[in-house]
Homo-oligomer: A and B are copies of this chain.
Amino acid sequence: MNATNKNLHAKFLNETAEIDAGTKQPFANSRKIYIEGSRPDIRVPFREITLSDTPSAFGAEKNLPVVVYDTSGPYTDPEIAIDIRDGLPAMRAKWIEERNDTEQLDGPSSEFGQQRKIDPALAAMRFNLTRKPRRARPGMNVSQMHYARKGIITPEMEYIAIRENQRRENMSELLQTQHAGQHFGASIPKVITPEFVRDEVARGRAIIPMNINHPEIEPMIIGRNFLVKINANIGNSALGSSISEEVEKMVWGTRWGGDTVMDLSTGKNIHETREWIIRNSPVPIGTVPIYQALEKVNGKAEDLTWEIFRDTLVEQAEQGVDYFTIHAGVRLAYIPMTAKRMTGIVSRGGSIMAKWCLAHHKESFLYEHFEDICDIMKAYDVSFSLGDGLRPGSIYDANDAAQFAELKTLGELTQIAWKHDVQCMIEGPGHVPMHLIKENMDLQLEHCGEAPFYTLGPLTTDIAPGYDHITSGIGAAMIGWYGCAMLCYVTPKEHLGLPDKEDVRVGIITYKIAAHAADLAKGHPGAQIRDNALSKARFEFRWDDQFNLGLDPEKAKEFHDETLPQEGAKQAHFCSMCGPHFCSMKITQDVRDYADKLGVDEKEALSKGMQEKAIEFVKKGSEVYQKV
């Protein structure tokens, strides 16, 4: 073992044996609960937030706990001991084996995987994987879409149906009440059933990204008739984070609500880093395999070959990557369409493929070998995330010919993927002013047969570096409402530098806001429960409940305590921000008390007076407008 490795090993052991305590700490007044499905090994996790009683001034009542979707996995369950050297329990292993359509391999079947496995120099950093990779038996297709199309409801589908319902049946009517919502296209049923999940997957309108080699995962679904999901990116780089830091970042990302995590690492040892991440990840992991393929040819795009790329797909599929971003829509003929752009090609994968196509003056090997890729995907149930290599990198370039030419090709490729029963979602922009966002969504649905859309933002203006989580959060909320299924987060450091933990947290919370705002606007059943519970807590000055129901309880409490640190301030029935004279909540309660005291006659008189005035006003209004 050379000195570098010794150092790595030492560093590694020091840092990774434990996830930071703050990253695993359950949120205040919250506990992990599990809802069992039709068989005892379907146990769907939720976070249950316990609330205090309504104070007597507001009519003393019990407030039922609120149950929310929970992406944080076993980490926030204090009953489960986790050693990241062992990875998470392989919850799905039995379901996969039961289907009897996979075989266990002797070891990695990719050349690269084999090399890495026996390289003694890597021993120190290698995850101690005791399980061997699996693959579909010859001629078999193990994708959830394949099962769905055969009419099979898998345990994964049932798990998802329970998860999406968020156990709202026991909430009071007041909390459930919601505005009707405006859903563009297909509609969301009042209760999500396993059959509905199956049907959506069969149609290709939703995907369940879940590699058979990632049995540690808690199943989730991406589709516009389900809760809007968000993705958080992690990844080391030249400036380097260690393996342990990457695992910590992944767990940190799921704590705040990342539904999937993309590992965009580009340094060396990405094979080993990825293994650690997947073994410890309760959420789907996505990658961009061309990044690693490029490393294998020392960064020379023109030296890329189908064989190297193919081996990389197999290598990563056997580690358990759940979805691959593949830029197969960047075709030779589209490249000149980007020459007059303000910012050319801004997708890394897109620019690598553009360079390859130009250097060889040949059609992209990703496009040419697309059916071969499908054969790999279905052997492991890896989902496509068809990359938008020609997405706009500036407001100026939004919705241009290059972008939409590629989108049509992605639609063509979607049909090929579906022919193979391979799950598929489509990546989208980028940088788009507000009034052009809906066109992106509409064309995507039209060209790509309603396959789920997965967008980066879009940023609605380019003039705020340092705040691009916000410029893009606006676009993300809107496109989520219009039907986008998953939103890829953007951190405040976008365009400027590498995000630290705080940036990751801010980026994720911003995108949880966008996703939830979209769920509300679509009228997703139950989405409003949490808003209502928080609003009620706010009105009743139940400060701790207000914090705990929020997306970031720790930040809310911290902000509150900056102004009013005393414990008593969290019980006061008005707060010192406005003081009692100006407390509208307090005055409203006076109004209610007054209304309660009124006799029936008085109430009627009040309400009658109101109606008369309303009629009178409409009459007046009409006259008044004529005078202008």
Contacts and interface: CB of A to CB of B under 8 A. Distances in A.
A584 B347 contact: yes
Interface stretch (A114-122, A191-199, A613-621): A613-621
A419 B334 CA distance: 60
A573 interface: no
A471 B347 CA distance: 29
> Looking at chain A, what size class is its interface with the partner chain?
35 or more
Interface in A320-353: 331-339, 341-348, 350-352
Interface in A328-380: 331-339, 341-348, 350-352, 354-355, 358
A168 interface: no
Nearest to A515: B461
Given A266-B578, A463-B551, A395 B528 contact: yes
Contact of A449 (B299, B589, B625): B625
A563 B435 contact: no
Nearest to A331: B613
B610 A559 contact: no
Query: Which 3 pairs show the lowest CB-CB distances between chains A and B?
Result: A344-B588, A497-B563, A333-B610
Interface in A452-487: 460-467, 469-471, 473-474, 477-478, 481
Contact of A344 (B351, B355, B592): B592
B552 A466 contact: yes
A276 B322 CA distance: 62
A84 interface: no
Interface stretch (A13-21, A104-112, A406-414): A406-414
A581 interface: yes
A271 interface: no
Contact of A591 (B344, B467, B512): B344
Contacts of A461: 513, 516-517, 520, 531
A551 B464 contact: yes
B535 A393 contact: yes
Contacts of A62: none
Contacts of A182: 435
Interface stretch (A37-45, A95-103, A125-133, A488-496): A488-496
Given A182-B435, A461-B531, A628 B584 contact: no
Interface of A: 174, 177, 179, 181-182, 204, 237-239, 266, 291, 294, 299, 301, 331-339, 341-348, 350-352, 354-355, 358, 393-396, 398-399, 405, 408-409, 411-412, 415, 418-419, 431, 433-436, 447, 449, 460-467, 469-471, 473-474, 477-478, 481, 492-493, 495-498, 500, 509-510, 512-514, 516-518, 520-523, 528, 530-532, 534-536, 538-539, 546-547, 549-552, 555-556, 558-560, 562-564, 576-585, 587-592, 594-595, 603, 606-607, 609-610, 613-614, 617-618, 620-621, 624-625, 627-628
A546 B477 CA distance: 26
Nearest to A551: B464
Given A266-B578, A331-B610, A449-B628, 19 more contacts: A177-B396, A179-B395, A181-B433, A181-B435, A238-B579, A332-B609, A337-B610, A343-B536, A344-B539, A344-B589, A393-B584, A409-B617, A411-B621, A412-B624, A435-B523, A461-B531, A466-B559, A467-B555, A474-B477
B342 A536 contact: yes
A492 B337 CA distance: 42
Question: Which residue, of A350, A464, A509, has the highest number of chain B Cβ atoms within 10 A?
Answer: A464
A552 B464 contact: yes
Contact of A510 (B412, B467, B509, B531): B467
Contacts of A518: 434
Contacts of A418: 628
A481 B435 contact: yes
Question: In the complex this chain forms, how many copies of it are found?
Answer: 2
Contact of A338 (B352, B358, B582, B588): B588
A318 to B, nearest CB: 25
Nearest to A578: B348
A621 B415 CA distance: 9
A242 to B, nearest CB: 17
Contacts of A564: 497
A610 B336 contact: yes
Contacts of A355: 587, 590-591
Contacts of A238: 576, 579
B589 A513 contact: no
A423 to B, nearest CB: 15
Given A344-B584, A513-B471, A354 B591 contact: yes
Contact of A497 (B577, B595, B628): B577
A405 B614 contact: yes
B342 A539 contact: yes
A391 to B, nearest CB: 10
A498 B509 CA distance: 22
Nearest to A535: B394
6 contacts: A409-B617, A412-B617, A433-B517, A434-B521, A466-B556, A474-B514
